[in-house]
Amino acid sequence: MASLYDGEMAKVYDLMYQTFVDYDEEYHFYNTLIVKNNCKNVLEIGSGTGNLAKRFYENNFDYLGLDFSQDMINIAKERNPNVTFIQSDMRNFSLTKKKDSIIITGRTTSYLITNEDVNGTFASVYRNLSENGIFCFDFIDANRFIPYTIENKLIVHHAEYDGIKYYREGNWEIATLENFMLDWTANYYTLTNDIKTLIGSDLSTVRVFTLNEIQLFLYLNNFEIIETIDRKTYAYDTYVIVAKKKS
Ligand SMILES: C[S@@+](CC[C@H](N)C(=O)[O-])C[C@H]1O[C@@H](n2cnc3c(N)ncnc32)[C@H](O)[C@@H]1O
């Protein structure tokens, strides 16, 4: 589990990602898929600091958020006092009511390090989806990402929010090719008059996937893929999968 989502770092995440991610576009993207498949409600896994929650709520859509980090949920609750978020692990969770759609957003699938993690998550999603329910998630494409990390040793991102400049320096090391896992090390700074002040660090191990691997995991968990979308996000080439629960 990454340290980016705990304590003070959760606040840094929230501030910086407001610049990295166009949450209006993100909401529009997922909402279009949900509405197109006639779903009346949604569970968002990896709901983070509640940016999509805000937009679903403002549009009167029946939304529930789920995240592992209580610190991320606390920020999400501040942003959305009327929305329900549950603290749970995507690898094994149970809802009281099944959902028409379950989405895993913002490359949260990168934290599914082992095959057991992936199967546990897909099986939990299956159990908590209503009949013909829709499962939609993104993942980082290993075929494009691994060469990128080899060619770009230092990765720098700038962000500005509420007049404060942020700066992130990170690098990827291939941890083991057993599962296409990588260690991410990043330092976060504020920038004032070109002076960098360290505000925190993030160390995490993430996994990237090939499309074939994901197809097989879905097959093994009784899902039928209905759409595969090639989607570039702020720093990553991803695929988004829309799959239907088979009976
Ligand atoms: C990259 S953030 C994405 C947050 C949000 N979707 C966004 O786009 O801003 C990943 C989120 O996944 C959550 N997460 C990581 N592992 C998890 C797990 N096993 N179960 C549930 N949530 C998890 C983290 O706490 C974090 O909020």
* Residue 110 C-beta-side C-alpha neighbours within 13 Å: 22
Question: For the chain, which domains are there?
Answer: 3-140+209-245 (3.40.50.150), 143-207 (2.20.130)
Q: Which long-range contacts (CB under 8 A, 24 or more apart) does 73-79 make?
A: 73/47, 74/10, 75/10, 75/11, 75/14, 75/49, 75/50, 76/47, 76/48, 76/49, 76/50, 77/50, 79/49, 79/50, 79/51, 79/53, 79/54
**More confident of the two residues 181 and 176:** 181
pTM (2 decimals)? 0.93
Residue to mutate, 68, 73, 112, ligand 1, most ligand atoms under 8 Å from C-beta: 68
Residue to mutate, 23, 26, 108, 206, ligand 1, most ligand atoms under 8 Å from C-beta: 108
Label residue 20 by pLDDT band (50, 70, 90).
confident
Are the C-beta atoms of 46 and 18 separated by less than 8 Å? no
- Tell me, in angstroms, the distance from the centre of ligand 1 to residue 4's CA: 10
Alpha-carbon distances, residue 208 vs 88, 159, 165 (angstroms): 22, 25, 30
- Tell me, in angstroms, the distance from the centre of ligand 1 to residue 53's CA: 13
Return the percent helix, strand and coil in the chain, to nearest 5.
35, 40, 25
155: three-class secondary structure by DSSP: strand
Residues with a CB atom less than 6 Å from ligand 1: 1, 5, 17, 21, 45-46, 48, 51, 67-69, 72, 89-91, 105-108, 111
Judge whether residue 96 has pLDDT over 90: yes
Are the C-beta atoms of 54 and 34 separated by less than 8 Å? no
Judge whether residue 83 has pLDDT over 80: yes
pLDDT at 179: 81
Residue to mutate, 11, 67, 109, ligand 1, most ligand atoms under 8 Å from C-beta: 67
Q: Which helix (H) or strand (E) holds 51?
A: helix 51-58
pLDDT in tens, 178-201: 788 888 888 888 888 878 898 888
Residue 12 structure tokens: 């840094």
- Least confident range of 104-108, 135-139, 176-180, 242-246: 176-180
- Tell me, in angstroms, the distance from the centre of ligand 1 to residue 193's CA: 33
- Least confident range of 67-76, 139-148, 150-159, 236-245: 150-159
Give the atom of ligand 1 at the shortest distance from the alpha carbon of 112.
Answer: 19
Whose structure tokens read 């199967």? Answer: 119
- Tell me, in angstroms, the distance from the centre of ligand 1 to residue 194's CA: 32
The residue contributing the CA closest to ligand 1 atom 3 is 106
Chain mean pLDDT for the chain: 91
